[in-house]
Structure 1
Amino acid sequence: MNEIYLPDLIGKGYADFWNTKCRYRACKGSRGSKKSKTTALNRIFRILKYPQANYLCVRRYTNTIRDSIYADTRWAIHQFGLDAYFKCISSPMEITYLPTGQKILFRGLDDGLKVTSITVDKGVLNFVDIEEAYEITEDDFNKLDMSIRGELPEGYFKQITLIFNPWSALSWLKARFFDYKDENIFAKTTTWQCNEWLDEADRKIFELMKKQNPRRYRIEGEGEWGIAEGLIYENVEQQEFDVDAIRRTEGIKSAFNLDFGFTDPNAFVCEMVDNKNKIIYVFDEWYATGVTNQIIAKQIKAMGYGGERIICDSAEPKSIAELQEAGIKAEPSRKGRDSVNHGIQQIQNYKIIVPPKCKEFWREIQNYCWTLDRNGRITDKPDHEFSHGMDSMRYGVAHLLLGDVYSWE
């Protein structure tokens, strides 16, 4: 093995994160703050330093692991120059350190294998890394926490690491790890400015965001919590539910809707509306940037909604026509001077339930706020940032609630 000087490999800004032995190590940060890459490097370092230690790496959904935490771990192995010493397999995803048999296991919380009952053949399972921790519930975390138990060899310690972007100040992560002070908790915030590996083009993206989108920059640039002030939808809950069971409920109606974008994301969102109990269930989503209308049509069909009535942004008649030519039942949303606020007012009468899999919609709805005027006072105009799925929902739900005859003109 080659000798490596760690500061040259890791860079600055994470010494305390790297060295802490607290049971809970939480790091929120901006995009580009190298938190995931640093955690991956630390993962390999600890496999080498503690020859009886094993790792469990977790995300909410299994299908997101391969291109994130698993890829980062393989990248870290290569950075250490240890490719020949590790065996990486993809089904199930795991990495083995060949000299000792230590394992790095990768699991989604939706995995058929019970994450909380995973054991290892050699040594102890004492480290858990949770990537994109904002996706998981506090109950999920508590179950993982209880799975790290048993005696350890002398000099070893147990630790759960949580890495995430701080999309909402309402997140349980804030109250649990950042507001509550405890000797077992290490909490840190990092930003893109501690990442010396960013090039000039990367840095300009953040500088431009700071000027043009200060609300988004607060989260994605400064690593601060999403702002709850002026939230448009407050009666919102993240919760799993049985789509088929709700669909069979008497009086339930479905809405399918699309907000067009290109530089901004297209937002295709699906809802079920329980008018009797005043509940909107968001049950599916697809967000994508830089895609053509032909690709949008193909995706809607692939998701199984090709035969549904899709309510689209009325400001895009050409795009609607192209979707129709591609076999999609696309229709324009309602329009009019007061249509936005009237649609919002209608939806505010409902509780909105979002499943964990609709993570983009959940991120947006927690940050969908009224804009502020130059004096810092809340206005009656929604902020454009975090509005894409919200506009999409409004098109379909307002159309569903008000029928085909109502007009704001």
Structure 2
Amino acid sequence: MKLKIKKVSLPKLIGKGYKDYWNFTGRYRVCKGSRASKKSKTTALNFIYRLMKYPGANLLVVRKVFRTLKDSAYTDLRWAIRQLQVDDYWDYKESPLELIYKPTGQKVLFRGLDEPMKLTSITVDVGSLCWCWIEESYEVTKESDFNMLDESIRGQVNGDLFKQITLTLNPWNEGHWIKKRFFDAEPCEDILAKTTNYLCNEFLDESDLRLFERMKAENPRRYRVAGLGEWGISEGLIYENWEEKEFDIQEILNNIPDIESSFGLDFGYTNDPTALFCGLISLSRKEIYVFDELYKKALTNRMIADEITSMGKAKEKIVADSAEPKSIDELYDYGLYRVIPARKGKDSINNGIQFIQGFKIIIHPKCSNFLTEISNYTWDKDKFDKPINKPIDDFNHLMDAMRYALEGFIEGDTFSFD
């Protein structure tokens, strides 16, 4: 295939703040960054550029849950191809999900940690699998899962190729293994651990910048993490008795006599996601099993109904946020005939939290957004930095949905109503 010469200014396209990251060739390249720090877009541009520069290279892109890749890293890489004006040289496939560089046959492969067998048998036809990108690597809560990926990038590489694993993440919790392994490590030639934030993104407009300024004034805790890219803290967690664990839903249903299903829905749209909690609860064993989730922004009510139907949950009783009665009515019209409003009332949040705190919560690994929220859902603080009896207004979409789902199991005069 004859390549046409096109000139693209990389410094103009990429902007500032990532020169060392772009050029690093050591084993581990790690970038934690705030929202709008352009870390994912820069990484996508870098990999498309590299693949076209190194004919023997192939890339494996990984997230905790496979189904989240299409709307994240896959979309970012396709965006990068368009930005570099090289669309004619790439093929896009969705089954299986992959990108192919037509002149050489090099590939970008996509896998999820929820499909471990597909990770252990990866092969490429051309060159070697020398690079791995773990997008949203905060979701990888087990260091052993990372070690498995690390071991898959092995073997000889030819010429000027190099082996490298790239991790990009939002630094929600300072207790994460990534901090200790890479950011707290002694300096060495094999590790680049970098922090970026929105201040190095010169492509933001005035409205974007005002959003961060409001965050800085109104929610300093969130600004430190989502604005400046600093590590979040885990002190004051609301739920501590939980674990991430694989389980078979059918076995749970067959072996626990009083197990019951529960579903809760929290509405969102532009800035907040719509969140569906899917769980099982045993009152006798004091256990809650979290087995599935919906977590997406910009969903209309029709789209919410379609998503829930595609998940096979349309016939389930779903307790939804009662603050949006019109949305509940529309979901009913779209075929969710068992959706009902939550019984909100005075102290319902704290009463619901207190009830759930009496249970052990077992979370299936595929529920990555639930894991992120529950490991960051903390008590708020007053102006003197003292904890108060009120949860933060953050990391609470699935947490709220869980409360709605379980409110029917709370005994006694728990709620009061206006």
- What TM-score results when the alignment is normalised by the length of structure 1? 0.89
Structural mapping, 1:1-400, within 5 Å:
1-111=5-115, 114-136=118-140, 137-181=142-186, 183=188, 184-248=190-254, 249-261=256-268, 264-289=272-297, 296-297=304-305, 299-314=307-322, 328-400=337-409
The secondary structure found in structure 2 opposite 1:66 is coil
Offset of 1:151 from its aligned partner?
1.6
Offset of 1:159 from its aligned partner?
0.4
- For 1:395 and 1:388, how far apart are their aligned partners in 2? 11
CA RMSD in angstroms, aligned pairs only: 2.7
Cα 1:145–1:397 shift into 2, 3 Å: same
Cα 1:332–1:144 shift into 2, 3 Å: same
Cα 1:154–1:83 shift into 2, 3 Å: same
Deviation per residue, 1:47-93 (Å, 9 max, x gap): 23322222222223333323322232233233333333333333323
- For 1:324 and 1:96, how far apart are their aligned partners in 2? 43
Q: Indicate if the aligned counterparts of 2:62 and 2:135 stay in contact, CA closer than 8 A.
A: yes
Offset of 1:189 from its aligned partner?
1.0
Offset of 1:242 from its aligned partner?
1.3
| Percent identical residues | 54
Q: Indicate if the aligned counterparts of 2:138 and 2:169 stay in contact, CA closer than 8 A.
A: yes
Deviation per residue, 1:258-316 (Å, 9 max, x gap): 33455644433122113333221112222455656565555444433333333344555
The secondary structure found in structure 1 opposite 2:291 is strand
Q: Indicate if the aligned counterparts of 2:39 and 2:168 stay in contact, CA closer than 8 A.
A: yes
Q: Which moved more, 1:158-167 or 1:350-359?
A: 350-359
Offset of 1:96 from its aligned partner?
3.0
The secondary structure found in structure 1 opposite 2:228 is coil
Q: Indicate if the aligned counterparts of 1:168 and 1:363 stay in contact, CA closer than 8 A.
A: no
The secondary structure found in structure 2 opposite 1:186 is strand
Q: Which moved more, 1:350-359 or 1:35-44?
A: 350-359
Cα 1:292–1:16 shift into 2, 3 Å: closer
Cα 1:287–1:178 shift into 2, 3 Å: same
Query: What residue ranges of structure 1 are gaps of 5+ in the alignment?
Result: none
Name the amino acid aligned to 2:265. L
- For 2:356 and 2:14, how far apart are their aligned partners in 1? 48
- For 1:193 and 1:200, how far apart are their aligned partners in 2? 12
- For 2:116 and 2:280, how far apart are their aligned partners in 1? 27
Cα 1:256–1:16 shift into 2, 3 Å: same
Name the amino acid aligned to 1:367. N
- For 1:298 and 1:48, how far apart are their aligned partners in 2? 39
Q: Which moved more, 1:232-241 or 1:34-43?
A: 232-241
Q: Indicate if the aligned counterparts of 1:270 and 1:283 stay in contact, CA closer than 8 A.
A: yes
Q: Indicate if the aligned counterparts of 1:334 and 1:407 stay in contact, CA closer than 8 A.
A: no
Query: What residue ranges of structure 2 are gaps of 5+ in the alignment?
Result: none
Q: Indicate if the aligned counterparts of 2:266 and 2:401 stay in contact, CA closer than 8 A.
A: yes
